[in-house]
Chains A and B, each alone.
Chain A
């Protein structure tokens, strides 16, 4: 991400631009230098040509001189000495000139000096000849001529040497010149190429950036449109507050939330407070706004606002800050109309309270009913017992029977009320959890049932139960009810055997526990060898007043196991029953370890 941003940063662009200029300047400088060398090398070639020409010119002039000398010596033409002197002058001129133009070439310099010397000698001879021709003998003439010829040969030789050197030089210079000239177009191509490359790169980058910008813009446009729709659907709006310019902008929907059309008025922070915010919430909001301007962050705040049409709605606001490219701090906030949620919540709360109150009433009713019914029932039973004690013999046979039936019914009623009372106590009780030794509770249960256990010669075996955070009286009740159940529904003439086992388990390993995590439970099972039950009733038996036998077969109220379930529910545990007719029953309790 950092690398990408470096690519896009304006600084990078500037650097690249400067670099490109540099490259171009560099290439131009090279080209310029090249052109310079071409010029120089052309000049060099021209120079060589010039030198060659001059040398040949000199040679011609010297040859002319020789010819004129010979002419004169042979013809004695009076015109020729002037010509000869003239030529001598020209030769001198040439030599001077050649000296000048070959001053850069030491070899040539040496040669031209030699030639000068030879020419001076020649001049001497020529002058000698000129001055003395009249007195020349044939032999002196021949000698002069020969001398002259010899010098001429030497000069010729040197001239040729010079010419050879110059030619070589010319050749190499020419070659160089040629190659330079040949290279020139290449230079131009390179410059052209570099320029084109830079321009192309620039074009590609610009066009790509442009495309990206366009795409981004499209996305932003799309998002903007979507946002507008989302605001409308979500009943929310957004606002921006520029802390530097104090410019307060609303999104379209924010206007609509307040009951106005978009851009219907120009919003300011002050006018917002004055015109819209509910006076009771104004103080809190103002304080929060001050804090927001300082800290750059507004945590969720809910306040009331009066719309254009006078309706009051609940607004939820939250804001955060953001710094723009001009380094101005801008607060961005979302406003949502939460009137519905608040109303729904309030309704829910009201309903809940109603239900709780109702529940409490029912529980109280249940308790009071069970409790208060005991009194009159007890009286009935006591008076019946008095009657039976004292007066039964003064009754007729029917009378005795009726009295006994009344006694039985009232006893049944007492059982029901006792159990109902126990059931309502399980609901009503303070749910105080204490770390308790479950073994002790089990022993207490067995103590409570000592009589029945002895009567039925029951054998109760158990694992050593652990300590656990429970409601002690309730768990003891649970154990008592379960053991009592097993004792009651034992097979006739077969001593009941109850086995109690405990195991620590994890929720995910027990398919009967509806959780699937690692939460830990104690699994306590009560297995008996009694009459069992049809497994299709394994859920029904925990229902209140539900019985699987009529009261003449086995006494019972159908409340005992419902109490067990309630107790297990109070501990956030689970209870299940398994059984087969005539093959005993197994009750499994799961108690969470907390």
Chain B
């Protein structure tokens, strides 16, 4: 018997954080964008415990300030791409405003740390989301293209192919064949 799932990652992560932090014991509050504030000083070894616990869930406590910012950029991009409203703003404008740095600075920092450009990262996220939408099977390619702010299906297909090397339809076919195989 099969059950198909849809994930709301925001809620998912938030819930896990809440559960973990509550059982951690120290008073905390979750500020958006992957920031937690503890109302008391937490000893170093406890932080290590928490770090290890978090790692099991794929949550990393970032030390580096630069890394923090990079993470913020990533989060912002994530929000932009996956957000319910289709944002017509340019990425550069959006990020600069949101994170209060010049886009040039953000861009350089991002490339230095991640070895890839913001534009590239945006594309990766869009294509990732596109993959999810394709597999969900609820929207047509045209609708997906619109949702992700592409000018046409051809544009989406081209970028999809450029990024993954295969066409959206081939992707769908392969994943569905995989599922059939794993019955």
Interface residues of A (CB under 8 A from B): 440, 443-444, 446-447, 450
Contacts and interface: CB of A to CB of B under 8 A. Distances in A.
Closest CB pairs A-B (n = 4): A447-B161, A444-B167, A447-B157, A450-B158
B154 interface: yes
Main secondary structure of the interface of B (DSSP, over half): helix
B180 to A, nearest CB: 15
A414 B181 CA distance: 36
Nearest to A446: B154
A440 B157 CA distance: 11
Interface in B129-183: 154, 157-158, 161, 167, 169-170
A108 B97 CA distance: 168
Nearest to B169: A440
A443 B141 CA distance: 13
Contacts of A443: 154, 157, 167
Nearest to B157: A447
Given A443-B167, A450-B161, 12 more contacts: A440-B169, A443-B154, A443-B157, A444-B167, A444-B169, A444-B170, A446-B154, A447-B157, A447-B158, A447-B161, A447-B167, A450-B158
User: In which size bucket is the chain B interface?
Assistant: under 10
Main secondary structure of the interface of A (DSSP, over half): helix
A447 B155 CA distance: 10
A362 B27 CA distance: 78
14 contacts: A440-B169, A443-B154, A443-B157, A443-B167, A444-B167, A444-B169, A444-B170, A446-B154, A447-B157, A447-B158, A447-B161, A447-B167, A450-B158, A450-B161
A446 B155 CA distance: 12
Nearest to B162: A450
Contacts of A446: 154
A446 B167 CA distance: 11
Contacts of B170: 444
Contacts of B169: 440, 444
Contacts of A450: 158, 161
Nearest to A437: B169
A366 to B, nearest CB: 27
A581 to B, nearest CB: 34
Nearest to B154: A443
A67 B169 CA distance: 163
Contacts of B154: 443, 446
A11 to B, nearest CB: 79
A444 B158 CA distance: 10
Contacts of B157: 443, 447
A392 B35 CA distance: 55
A107 to B, nearest CB: 133
Nearest to A443: B157
A443 B167 CA distance: 10
B105 to A, nearest CB: 33
A562 B157 CA distance: 30
A450 to B, nearest CB: 6
B34 to A, nearest CB: 37
Contacts of B158: 447, 450
Interface string B77-118: 000000000000000000000000000000000000000000
A443 B161 CA distance: 12
B174 to A, nearest CB: 14
Contacts of B167: 443-444, 447
Contacts of A440: 169
Contacts of A444: 167, 169-170
A326 to B, nearest CB: 73
B140 to A, nearest CB: 13
Contacts of B161: 447, 450
A447 B154 CA distance: 8
Contacts of A447: 157-158, 161, 167
A450 B159 CA distance: 11
Nearest to A448: B161
B131 to A, nearest CB: 17
A450 B158 CA distance: 8
